Every structure is written in C-alpha cells, then in structure tokens.
Amino acid sequence: MADKLITISEAAKIIGVSMDTLRRWDKKGVFRSKRHGTGGYRYYDRQEAELFINDVAALAKDWAYGDVPFLPRPADFYSRTASDFQARLAKMESELSKVPRMKDESSLIVSIVGEMGNNSFDHNLGSWPDIMGVFFGYDMNKGIIALADRGQGILKTLKRVRPELESDEQSLKVAFTEIISGRAPESRGNGLKYVRKVMAEYIKEDSVSLLFQSGEAALTLRGGEKGLNIEKSDIRCRGCLAIINF
C-alpha cells in the first residue's frame, strides 16, 4: 500500500466524523475512498482528507444531502436565523471587496447570495422539515461560496401556487424563468429570477458560475450566459444547495 494511503479510521479521525459517515459519503460520492486489495477495504488519500476539512462545497453538500439531520460543521458556517445570516453576509461582503479581481462584481455576488439565503428563510418560515437555518460558508482563496438548507425545496414551495408542477426539473425552470403570483401569502420563487438576471446581464462572461440544486434537479448558470442548463442529479438534495465559483 502506498504511503499516502490511510485507513478509514485514520481518515475519520482527521476529518472529525465517524467511519459510518465516511462510508455514506463514499456511497453518495461526497468523498470517495481509494479501494485497495482483494478484501474491498476502504483506504483514503491523506492529503485529500486534510484538504476536505476546508472544502466548503463538500461540507455544504454533505449537510444538504444527508438523510439524518445534524447541525452543520463547523459551527461558524451555520446561520440559524435570518439575522445570523445577514451578519455573516455583511462579513463576507467586507472580505470579498478586498479580492482585487472581484472589485467590480463583489456587490453583485453579495446581492445574489443574499437573495438565495433570504429565500431559504422566507419560504420555510415555520415549516422547516428538521433543522432550521442555512449552511453558509466561503473561501476567498479558493473563490467559492456555498449555501445550503434542509428546507422543503423548490417543488413543494411552488406547488402551493402552481399545483400542476410534477417534477423538480419543472419547478426549477419555473423558479428561474417565470414570475409567480397567486393567492399565497407572498409571491414565491421570484428572487431566483433576479439571480438569473444578474448572472446573465451584469456578471462578466466566465468570471462567475453558479450551481443550484433542489431535489433531484440541478441548474448551472455562468456569467454572461442567458440560457439555462438543467439536469437530473444522481443525488437528491433535501432542500436547496447553491455553490458559486469566482
């Protein structure tokens, strides 16, 4: 066995999770093992395990995909209330404004992150399925921002005013392209049209990309592109997940 490979128990200790969690991550593709030998034992790359600790996208996916609810780790990435989220958003805005290559677009990125985060709280108010709040992490060095919630998801939210919707793919397309109105307490999903407008009309081409997933549907948007790319995901998201790369 190569020196860089470690056992599942060693990897679990480095990352700070149980071996059962690592097995689940392996099965779902969140964090893959390196299999070795005829017994099918799981071995991991030590460097990948150490890097994973600081992989905010992977941590957000684990929380959004997990069948068993748990509080997000690390605690600094958890915004339990809308006011917690706004405070962290203000901190991110300050840090992002200091990134030279994002000087012209930092305020735009903050606005779409704010829109998506506020949607999580507005559309799940009083009806969180298990853990309320959002995962909100970012890494300025890697150029990544991740948001996730374990809410009701886009389909269930929009079916209140569009009961004919049948799939996650349909609901995601509607959320990003149609103005929703009706006799619900508030218009639902319209903030995502704003996100699409900013990405298509104000973000420079190829400077920023967005992955947005709800249920089994995943959408990608790139700066300067007006089209939508919606595909069926192999892994179900319990609520909503958004990953921005810049």
**pLDDT above 70 covers what percent of the chain?**
93
**pLDDT above 90 covers what percent of the chain?**
65
Please name the residues in contact with 103: beta carbons below 8 A apart, sequence gap of 6 or more: 97
DSSP state of 214: E
Contact 222, 199 (CB under 8 A): yes
Mean pLDDT of 28-50: 81
* pLDDT > 70? residue 62: yes
Least trusted range by pLDDT, from 68-77, 78-87, 158-167, 224-233: 68-77
Mean pLDDT of 188-213: 90
Binned at pLDDT 50, 70 and 90, residue 38 comes out as: low
Task: Tell me which amino acid residue 75 is.
Answer: A
Write out pLDDT tens, residues 71-82.
987 788 999 999
Write out pLDDT tens, residues 161-195.
999 999 999 999 999 999 876 534 444 447 899 99
Highest mean pLDDT among 53-62, 87-96, 175-184: 87-96
pLDDT at 188 (0 to 100)? 44
pLDDT at 37 (0 to 100)? 64
All structural domains of the chain, each given as residue ranges with its CATH number in brackets, are 5-53 (1.10.1660.10), 64-245 (3.30.565)
Question: Which residue shows structure tokens 């780790």?
Answer: 73
pLDDT at 22 (0 to 100)? 87
In Å, what is the CA distance from 143 to each residue of 3, 79, 138, 161?
31, 21, 8, 37
Average model confidence (pLDDT) for the chain?
89
Task: Tell me which amino acid residue 218 is.
Answer: A
pLDDT at 197 (0 to 100)? 95
Answer whether the bond into residue 185 is a cis peptide, omega within 30°. no
Mean pLDDT of 197-209: 93
DSSP state of 169: H
Write out pLDDT tens, residues 8-21.
999 888 877 788 88
Mean pLDDT of 195-206: 94
Least trusted range by pLDDT, from 32-41, 74-83, 86-95, 96-105: 32-41
pLDDT at 3 (0 to 100)? 57
pLDDT at 89 (0 to 100)? 97
pLDDT at 1 (0 to 100)? 44
Token couple for 182: 């009706």
pLDDT at 128 (0 to 100)? 97
Please name the residues in contact with 160: beta carbons below 8 A apart, sequence gap of 6 or more: 182, 184, 188
pLDDT at 183 (0 to 100)? 39
